[in-house]
Structure 1
Amino acid sequence: MQVTETQNDGLKRGYQITLTAEELDQKVLEKLKEAQPEVEMKGFRKGKVPMSLLKKQFGPRLMGEAMQESVDGAVSNHLEETGHRPAQQPSMKMANEDWKEGDDVVVDIEYEALPDIPEPDFSTLELERMVVQPDDASVDEALESLAKNAQSFEAKDGKAEDGDQVVIDFLGKKDGEPFEGGAAEDYPLTLGSGSFIPGFEEQLTGVKAGDEKVLNITFPEDYQAEHLAGQEVTFDVTVKEVKAPAATEIDDELAKQYGAEDLEALKGQIRDRLVQEYSGAARAVAKRRLLDKLDDMVQFELPESLVEAEAKQIAHQLWHEENPDHQGHDHPEIEPTEEHRKLAERRVKLGLFLAEVGTRNEVQVTDQEMTQAVMQQARQYPGQERQFFEFVQQNPQMRQQIQAPIFEDKVVDLIFEKAQVTEKEVSKEELQEAVEKLEDE
């Protein structure tokens, strides 16, 4: 077998592999000899079928297997000898497409090799991590929000106003006939909550207990129930009670509603939650600043194929974000812009760099970490958690999508540990401003 270099341009490599007819024939004979003891054929005892007959019967099929195995083995040996790591699956094609048995097999192989990636001295990196201590005002603000969520109502005389609760019976009709899902009794509806279709709550403003009213409603064109989308209907409504919001005391009773022993215990829980929220936001800011520094610090040649694929993916994703009504992919080809390409270069560079740092430092994502991540995502599908778990188990690409951000965060933490990180105490507003700046970039 002969391997000849045909291209060496930057990261692009090309090779021609020649497998002689004699080598191929020998490979087929080896396969036939291996199978011969188990072959049974009419007129011959098991294992006694002549080699010439075996070759005539099974040779053509084994020839294809031998060709594939030989070429795959040659490519594998070549990559091991050169130390090349293809950026993507190498392309392979027969150079002599008119090949016939007895000819040498000539295969052209092309790929882009991953570059040699330097690892800088991370101890020279100087980074700043923002620290925010929850103040009393933030805790009080959170308490007020909890009190609002625990809102209670008391019966009132007079007309219902925005923010009041009306207890109603209602029956929806289309063309004078009740429709499925359009009726309820003793339903507590807070006016102004926007929980009902547009126009329903507005028409109940000013009603009193005991009132009966017919509401004229037009369902939105994009309503989820297709048989009602865009349809004009009526609702027969009976108002049973009108209630006004009652002041919720921030006290031990409120704390018990949220599972705390008393108000002080609830405040402690709120402080702990705020510490976690602030810490997560501060880490996101520090991570972006670290990636910015690494982008400037580390330079190496990028595989053009990876950059091009990433640029197309970015352009495609952004197009769909700008055209949310277009769900399918039957749209014109989207050409990446220079801005898309610059973003792609950054992503490819940092992705390759972090992957290399993780490999060199033997960073691993544990089974426990993967299970926790899958469980967290499974919560987005109530009642279908088991099906989601099975889907992830059977889908290597999905497992990779879940594993990748975990791996990246572990590598980032590794770099943080080696870098010079100083903490700077800032206000909640300063942290929020930094987070918003990230979202705008």
Structure 2
Amino acid sequence: MQVSVEKTSELSRKMTVSVPETVVQEKVAERLKTLARQVKIDGFRPGKVPQHVVNKMYGEKVRGEVAGDLIQSTYYDALRDQNLNPAGQPHIHDLDETEGFKYIAEFEVYPEISLAGIEGLAITQSLATVEESDVDAMIEKLQTQKKSWNEVERASQDKDRITIAFAGVSEGENFTDGTVQDFAVEIGAKQMIPGFEDNLTGLKNGESKIFSVTFPEEYNNAKLAGKPTEFTVEVIKVEEPGLPVVDEEFIKGYGTQDGLMATFRADIKTNMERELAQALHGKLKNTVLEALYEKVQLKIPGILIEEEIQNLMKPYLESAKRNKLKQADLQLPKEMFKDQAERRVALGLILGEIIRTQDIKVDDSKVRTTIEDMAKSYEQPEAYVSWYYSDKSRLNSVQQMVLEDQTVEWLVSKAKIANETTSFSDIMDANQR
């Protein structure tokens, strides 16, 4: 076998592989000889078909099969001999059998990654604690989740729920299919486009109002995006929120069995501290990865970017399929995902190189702890843990996550850290964006 490699770009390679005709003929002859003992042809007893008949009937087909097998075996042998590490599948073409057997394989290779400077990354680490005022705010939030609505005769105000009938017209066309009836809007909840809820304050039952707002430029309906719109609204009823009393029944409803306020607050604080720790960990990890991405510059194989774009688009395409929509209706150009895909592929390659060079091994005890922490929010945590350990693919997903976390921990241990103190609410609000 002869192999030559041409570098057509920084990551692209054109590899020509030639196999002597004697090798091809030997393999074809072997397969035809085996076939002669197996084929059934009218006029001949099984196993007694003359070899020349088999050769004439099956020679071309067998040579094609041998060619396919040779490409598969010699391709990987050639890569090993040339010390090449391809990214993705090759494009095989220009099969030439005039003088032996020759083909061309074109592919991209993984880039060489320089990790110079990754020790000593400048990182800002956020610090926060759960204060009693944060617990107070959380209890109020829990009350809000169980609020009731009471009809009032006064004019509507912020945080009220107002039930309306409304119609919308843009560029002379009604886009609400007539009038939408009995539509409830919680004023201030930002359920509607900007400006809509602001126009619903100061209205009483039976009153009407006409107002104009403009749809956001990024609105998901292209016909309305950025367009000025006139709404006609009629008020059906106005309701104000009523918060439940934080009594024993309320407390037990959130899982604190003794119904005591002190225990309730302690339980809430424990949960908040766990959520805060996860959010701080996630924020630090993102900060480290962003610094790493900026520090290590590398050329990324286009085929890997394309594969990652497809992975990012997959949930949207599956959702469209469930809703019986065509892909074209989604208006999802690949360019929307390109930057994110490039970042994810690059970080995957860089982290993989750090894991390799630093010989970082997954810590099984951390895998166990991670799964047990995930299980704490379930009624039967033991069953949840067993569910993960009963399936290799599920377990592998956690192992990969832990290995990535361990790599980030290594980077943090080598980084220049500057601490900044912030609040629980700031961390959690940023985590939800």
Q: Under TM normalisation by the shorter chain, which class is it?
A: 0.5 to 0.7
Give 1:136's match in structure 2, choosing from 125, 132, 136: 132
Q: Report the Cα offset of residue 119 of structure 1.
A: 6.3
Q: Provide closer, same or farther for how the CA distance between residues 270 and 312 of structure 1 changes in structure 2, counting only shifts above 3 A.
A: closer
Structure 1 residue 44, shift from structure 2 partner? 1.5
Distance, in Å, in 1 between the alignment partners of 2:406 and 2:110 is 25
Using the size of structure 2 for normalisation, the TM-score is 0.61
8 Å Cα contact 2:354-2:407 kept in structure 1? no
Does structure 2 conserve the Cα–Cα contact (< 8 Å) formed by 1:93 and 1:108? Answer: yes
1:327 maps onto 2:338 in alignment: no
Which secondary structure state, in structure 2, belongs to the residue aligned with residue 48 of structure 1? coil
- Match in the other structure for 1:413: 406
Deviation of 1:42 (Å): 1.2
Q: Check conservation: 1:87, 1:303, Cα contact below 8 A.
A: no
Match of 1:24, SS state, is helix
Q: Which amino acid aligns with 1:356?
A: E
* Superimposed CA distance per residue, residues 399-438 of structure 1 (whole angstroms, 9 cap, x where no aligned partner): 99x9889735632323405752799875444983798599
Alignment-derived partner of residue 350 in structure 1: 347
SS of aligned partner of 2:88: coil
Contact 2:146–2:244 (8 Å) recurs in 1: yes
Instruction: Report % sequence identity.
Output: 19
The 1:278/1:193 distance shift into structure 2, 3 A limit, reads closer
Match of 1:174 in 2: none
Matched, 1:112 2:124: no
Shift of 1:312: 11
Maintained 8 Å contact 2:150/2:239: yes
Distance 1:253 1:136, change over 3 A: same
Superposed CA deviations along residues 85-129 of structure 1, whole A, max 9, x for unmatched, are 102322321154xx56xx422212233332444667988778664
| 1:132–1:425 Cα contact (<8 Å) kept | no
Q: How many Å separate the matches in 2 of 1:361 and 1:194?
A: 46
Aligned residue number for residue 432 of structure 1 = 426
Q: Distance in 2 between matches of 1:304 and 1:78?
A: 23
Query: What does residue 257 of structure 1 align with?
Result: 253
2:208, 2:234 within 8 Å by CA — same for their partners in 1?
yes
CA distance in 2, matches of 1:132, 1:117: 36
Deviation of residue 140 (structure 1)? 0.7
1:2 aligned residue: 2
CA contact (8 A) 1:364 1:407 kept: no
Structure 2 CA distance for aligned equivalents of residues 292 and 94 of structure 1: 43
Counterpart residue number, 1:173: none
Q: Within 2, Cα distance between the matches of 1:190 and 1:36?
A: 81
Alpha-carbon distance in structure 2 between the residues aligned to 1:328 and 1:291: 30
The match for 1:80 is: 80
Q: Deviations over 1:374-412 (max 9, x none)?
A: x99xxxxxxxxxxxxxxxx9xxxxx99x98897356323
Aligned residues: 367
C-alpha distance in 2, partners of 1:38/1:213? Answer: 89
String of CA shifts for 1:128-152, please: whole Å, max 9, x gaps.
6433210011111111122222223
Q: Tell me by how many angstroms 1:19 deviates.
A: 2.3
CA distance in 2: counterparts of 1:303 and 1:192, whole angstroms: 47
Residue 271 of structure 2 aligns to which amino acid in structure 1? R
Task: Find the residue that maps to 2:130 and give its secondary structure.
Answer: coil
Q: 1:61 to 1:363 in 2, by over 3 A?
A: farther
Q: Specify the code of the residue in structure 2 equivalent to 1:290.
A: V
- Amino acid of the structure 2 residue aligned with 1:414: T
Contact kept, 8 Å, 1:166 with 1:243, in 2: the verdict is yes
Rounded to whole Å, the distance in 2 between the matches of 1:290 and 1:193 is 34
Say whether 1:285 aligns with 2:283: yes
CA 1:363–1:79 in structure 2 vs 1: closer, same or farther (change >3 Å)?
A: farther
**Aligned counterparts of 2:187 and 2:403: Cα–Cα separation in 1:** 48
How far the C-alpha of 1:49 sits from its partner, in A, is 1.3
User: What does the per-residue CA deviation read over 1:312-337, in whole Å, with 9 as the maximum and x for residues that have no partner?
Assistant: 969x99xx9xxxx9733689x99x9x
- Structure 1 residues 406, 120: closer, same or farther in 2, change over 3 A? farther
Q: Structure 1: how far apart are the matches of 2:10 and 2:189?
A: 62
Stretches of structure 1 that go unaligned for 5 or more consecutive residues are 171-178, 225-229, 377-392, 394-398
Instruction: Supply the AA of the counterpart residue of 1:248.
Output: P
Taking a change above 3 Å as real, the CA distance of residues 408 and 27 of structure 1, as seen in their structure-2 partners, is same
- Where 1:91 maps in the other structure, the secondary structure is strand
Query: Which amino acid is 2:270 matched to?
Result: D
Deviation of 1:278 after TM superposition, in Å, equals 2.1
Q: Structure 1's 11 and 150: CA in aligned 2 closer, same or farther, altered over 3 A?
A: closer
Classify 1:95/1:63 alpha carbon distance in 2 versus 1 (closer, same or farther; 3 Å): closer
Change (3 A) 1:438 1:79: farther
Q: Deviations over 1:262-292 (max 9, x none)?
A: 3223322321232233223322332233224
Kept in 2, the 8 Å contact 1:162–1:192? The answer is no
Offset at residue 12 of structure 1 (A): 4.1
TM-aligned CA deviation for residue 11 of structure 1: 4.6
Letter in 1 for 2:287: R
> Contact 2:125 / 2:420 at 8 angstroms: preserved in 1?
no
For 1:351, give the aligned amino acid: G
Distance (whole Å) between structure 2 residues aligned to residue 363 and residue 35 of structure 1? 50
CA displacement at 1:352 relative to structure 2: 0.9
Amino acid at match of 1:23: V
* Cα offsets for 1:16-36 (capped at 9, x unmatched): 211233322221111122333
Q: Which residue of 1 aligns with 2:224?
A: none
Cα distance, 1:56 vs structure 2? 1.0
Q: Compared with structure 1, are the counterparts of its residues 269 and 120 closer, same or farther at alpha carbon in structure 2 (3 Å cutoff)?
A: farther
Letter in 1 for 2:426: Q
Offset at 1:10?
Answer: 5.3
Counterpart code for 1:416:
E
TM-score (norm. length: structure 1): 0.60
1:267 to 261, 265, 268: 265
